[in-house]
Amino acid sequence: MLSRDKGMNSAFFSSIVTMDETWTPMFSPETKRQSAQWKHTDSPPPKKLRVSASAEKMMVAMFWDVEGVILTHCVPKSTTVTGQTYEDVLRTKFLPALREKRPKKVAAVFFHHDNAPLHRTAGVHQFFDDNSEVVPHAPYSPDLAPSDFWLFSTLKDTLRGCMLSGRSALATAIFQWSQRTPKEAFAAAMQL
Protein backbone atom coordinates (compact mmCIF):
# COMPACT_ATOMS: atom_id res chain seq x y z
CA MET A 1 0.00 0.00 0.00
CA LEU A 2 2.86 2.37 0.78
CA SER A 3 4.58 1.71 -2.55
CA ARG A 4 1.28 2.24 -4.35
CA ASP A 5 0.84 5.57 -2.52
CA LYS A 6 4.36 6.59 -3.54
CA GLY A 7 3.60 5.62 -7.15
CA MET A 8 0.49 7.83 -7.09
CA ASN A 9 2.36 10.85 -5.63
CA SER A 10 0.77 10.35 -2.18
CA ALA A 11 -2.78 10.35 -3.58
CA PHE A 12 -3.57 6.68 -2.89
CA PHE A 13 -4.58 7.02 0.77
CA SER A 14 -6.74 10.05 0.02
CA SER A 15 -8.58 7.96 -2.62
CA ILE A 16 -9.50 5.15 -0.21
CA VAL A 17 -12.99 4.75 1.22
CA THR A 18 -13.04 2.32 4.12
CA MET A 19 -15.92 0.61 5.86
CA ASP A 20 -16.52 -1.51 8.92
CA GLU A 21 -19.29 -2.47 11.33
CA THR A 22 -19.51 -2.36 15.12
CA TRP A 23 -22.03 -3.06 17.86
CA THR A 24 -22.81 0.09 19.83
CA PRO A 25 -24.67 -0.17 23.17
CA MET A 26 -27.38 2.31 24.15
CA PHE A 27 -25.40 2.95 27.34
CA SER A 28 -21.75 2.35 28.07
CA PRO A 29 -20.32 3.31 31.49
CA GLU A 30 -17.54 5.84 31.83
CA THR A 31 -14.00 4.57 32.20
CA LYS A 32 -12.20 4.98 35.53
CA ARG A 33 -10.29 7.89 34.09
CA GLN A 34 -13.45 9.58 32.80
CA SER A 35 -15.21 9.24 36.15
CA ALA A 36 -12.23 10.42 38.22
CA GLN A 37 -12.87 13.43 40.41
CA TRP A 38 -10.80 15.75 42.54
CA LYS A 39 -11.35 15.59 46.27
CA HIS A 40 -9.81 17.10 49.36
CA THR A 41 -7.46 14.89 51.36
CA ASP A 42 -9.90 15.02 54.32
CA SER A 43 -12.88 13.95 52.20
CA PRO A 44 -14.15 10.40 52.38
CA PRO A 45 -13.56 8.32 49.25
CA PRO A 46 -16.37 8.61 46.73
CA LYS A 47 -18.87 5.77 46.57
CA LYS A 48 -18.89 4.13 43.20
CA LEU A 49 -21.41 1.65 41.98
CA ARG A 50 -20.66 -1.06 39.47
CA VAL A 51 -22.29 -0.13 36.23
CA SER A 52 -22.36 -2.28 33.13
CA ALA A 53 -23.18 -1.56 29.52
CA SER A 54 -26.80 -1.88 28.48
CA ALA A 55 -27.92 -5.14 26.90
CA GLU A 56 -29.65 -3.29 24.08
CA LYS A 57 -27.30 -2.40 21.27
CA MET A 58 -27.34 -1.49 17.61
CA MET A 59 -25.08 -2.53 14.75
CA VAL A 60 -23.66 0.45 12.91
CA ALA A 61 -21.81 0.35 9.58
CA MET A 62 -19.72 3.41 8.77
CA PHE A 63 -18.26 4.33 5.39
CA TRP A 64 -15.59 7.04 5.59
CA ASP A 65 -12.49 8.54 4.02
CA VAL A 66 -9.91 11.28 4.70
CA GLU A 67 -12.63 13.95 4.53
CA GLY A 68 -15.01 12.37 7.05
CA VAL A 69 -18.01 10.09 7.23
CA ILE A 70 -19.75 9.42 3.93
CA LEU A 71 -22.50 7.16 5.26
CA THR A 72 -23.61 5.82 8.61
CA HIS A 73 -25.96 2.90 8.23
CA CYS A 74 -27.80 1.75 11.34
CA VAL A 75 -28.83 -1.85 10.74
CA PRO A 76 -32.56 -2.27 11.45
CA LYS A 77 -33.44 -4.28 14.53
CA SER A 78 -33.88 -8.04 13.95
CA THR A 79 -32.11 -7.85 10.59
CA THR A 80 -29.51 -10.46 9.81
CA VAL A 81 -26.57 -8.97 7.97
CA THR A 82 -25.87 -11.14 4.93
CA GLY A 83 -24.05 -10.66 1.66
CA GLN A 84 -27.35 -9.67 0.06
CA THR A 85 -28.17 -7.01 2.68
CA TYR A 86 -24.60 -5.66 2.42
CA GLU A 87 -24.89 -5.48 -1.37
CA ASP A 88 -28.24 -3.66 -1.02
CA VAL A 89 -26.65 -1.09 1.33
CA LEU A 90 -23.79 -0.59 -1.13
CA ARG A 91 -26.12 -0.09 -4.10
CA THR A 92 -29.00 1.86 -2.51
CA LYS A 93 -27.28 3.86 0.24
CA PHE A 94 -23.50 4.01 -0.16
CA LEU A 95 -23.29 4.74 -3.90
CA PRO A 96 -25.84 7.61 -3.78
CA ALA A 97 -24.12 9.05 -0.67
CA LEU A 98 -20.73 8.84 -2.42
CA ARG A 99 -22.12 10.57 -5.52
CA GLU A 100 -23.61 13.33 -3.38
CA LYS A 101 -20.76 13.93 -0.90
CA ARG A 102 -17.68 13.02 -2.97
CA PRO A 103 -18.64 13.42 -6.65
CA LYS A 104 -14.97 13.61 -7.75
CA LYS A 105 -14.23 10.26 -6.08
CA VAL A 106 -16.93 8.24 -7.82
CA ALA A 107 -14.78 7.56 -10.89
CA ALA A 108 -11.57 6.69 -9.02
CA VAL A 109 -12.34 5.25 -5.61
CA PHE A 110 -10.39 2.50 -3.90
CA PHE A 111 -12.61 0.63 -1.44
CA HIS A 112 -11.25 -1.03 1.69
CA HIS A 113 -13.07 -3.46 3.94
CA ASP A 114 -12.04 -6.51 5.92
CA ASN A 115 -12.33 -10.16 4.92
CA ALA A 116 -15.68 -10.88 6.59
CA PRO A 117 -17.61 -13.63 4.77
CA LEU A 118 -20.42 -11.26 3.78
CA HIS A 119 -17.85 -8.97 2.11
CA ARG A 120 -16.75 -11.83 -0.17
CA THR A 121 -20.06 -12.90 -1.70
CA ALA A 122 -20.59 -12.98 -5.49
CA GLY A 123 -23.01 -10.03 -5.49
CA VAL A 124 -20.60 -7.83 -3.52
CA HIS A 125 -17.74 -8.79 -5.87
CA GLN A 126 -19.93 -7.87 -8.84
CA PHE A 127 -20.76 -4.48 -7.27
CA PHE A 128 -17.08 -3.67 -6.92
CA ASP A 129 -16.26 -4.96 -10.40
CA ASP A 130 -18.82 -2.46 -11.71
CA ASN A 131 -18.00 0.52 -9.47
CA SER A 132 -14.53 0.58 -7.93
CA GLU A 133 -11.36 -1.27 -7.09
CA VAL A 134 -11.07 -3.13 -3.79
CA VAL A 135 -7.87 -2.68 -1.79
CA PRO A 136 -6.86 -6.15 -0.57
CA HIS A 137 -6.96 -6.64 3.18
CA ALA A 138 -4.35 -9.02 4.53
CA PRO A 139 -5.82 -11.68 6.86
CA TYR A 140 -5.20 -11.13 10.57
CA SER A 141 -4.06 -7.55 10.05
CA PRO A 142 -5.99 -5.27 12.40
CA ASP A 143 -3.40 -2.54 11.83
CA LEU A 144 -4.83 -2.15 8.32
CA ALA A 145 -8.33 -1.45 9.62
CA PRO A 146 -8.43 2.23 10.66
CA SER A 147 -12.06 1.84 11.74
CA ASP A 148 -10.98 -0.58 14.46
CA PHE A 149 -8.03 1.32 15.87
CA TRP A 150 -9.31 4.88 15.54
CA LEU A 151 -12.89 5.47 14.38
CA PHE A 152 -14.89 3.15 16.62
CA SER A 153 -12.74 3.63 19.74
CA THR A 154 -12.99 7.42 19.42
CA LEU A 155 -16.73 7.27 18.79
CA LYS A 156 -17.40 4.92 21.71
CA ASP A 157 -15.25 6.99 24.09
CA THR A 158 -17.36 10.02 23.19
CA LEU A 159 -20.60 8.12 23.88
CA ARG A 160 -19.44 6.71 27.25
CA GLY A 161 -21.66 7.83 30.10
CA CYS A 162 -24.45 9.03 27.80
CA MET A 163 -27.81 7.40 28.51
CA LEU A 164 -29.53 7.22 25.13
CA SER A 165 -33.26 6.62 25.02
CA GLY A 166 -33.37 4.49 21.89
CA ARG A 167 -32.03 3.67 18.46
CA SER A 168 -32.90 7.05 16.93
CA ALA A 169 -31.16 8.89 19.80
CA LEU A 170 -28.06 6.74 19.28
CA ALA A 171 -28.12 7.37 15.52
CA THR A 172 -28.42 11.12 16.18
CA ALA A 173 -25.50 11.04 18.65
CA ILE A 174 -23.33 9.21 16.10
CA PHE A 175 -24.26 11.72 13.38
CA GLN A 176 -23.47 14.67 15.66
CA TRP A 177 -20.11 13.13 16.58
CA SER A 178 -19.23 12.69 12.89
CA GLN A 179 -20.12 16.35 12.21
CA ARG A 180 -18.07 17.66 15.17
CA THR A 181 -14.96 15.59 14.45
CA PRO A 182 -12.52 17.69 12.42
CA LYS A 183 -11.61 16.60 8.91
CA GLU A 184 -7.93 16.55 9.93
CA ALA A 185 -8.62 13.73 12.42
CA PHE A 186 -10.01 11.52 9.66
CA ALA A 187 -7.04 12.33 7.40
CA ALA A 188 -4.56 11.57 10.19
CA ALA A 189 -6.22 8.23 10.94
CA MET A 190 -5.98 7.19 7.31
CA GLN A 191 -2.27 8.07 7.19
CA LEU A 192 -1.33 5.98 10.24
**What does the pLDDT look like over 151-189, one tens digit per residue?**
888 888 888 877 778 888 889 999 999 999 999 998 888
Residue 40 pLDDT class (50, 70, 90 cuts): low
Tell me, yes or no, whether 139 lies in a domain: yes
32 inside domain: no
Q: Is residue 35 part of a domain?
A: no
Residue 110 included in any domain = yes
The whole-number pLDDT of residue 3 equals 62
> For the chain, how many structural domains are there in total?
1
- Look at residues 13, 30, 22, 40 and name the one whose alpha carbon lies nearest to residue 152: 22
In a domain, 47, yes or no: no
Range of the domain at 130: 2-25+55-191
Please check whether residue 99 lies inside any domain of the structure. yes
Q: What order of strands is seen across the sheet that includes strand 68-74?
A: 68-74, 57-65, 16-25, 110-112, 133-134
Please report, for the domain that includes residue 17, its CATH number: 3.30.420.10
- For 146, counting Cβ atoms within 10 Å of its Cβ (0-12 exposed, 13-18 middle, 19+ buried), the class is buried
User: What are the tens digits of pLDDT across the range 78-131?
Assistant: 888 888 999 999 999 999 999 999 988 877 788 888 878 888 889 888 888 888
For the beta carbon of residue 85, count every other beta carbon within 10 angstroms.
Answer: 15
30 in any annotated domain: no
Does the predicted model carry a pTM greater than 0.85?
A: no
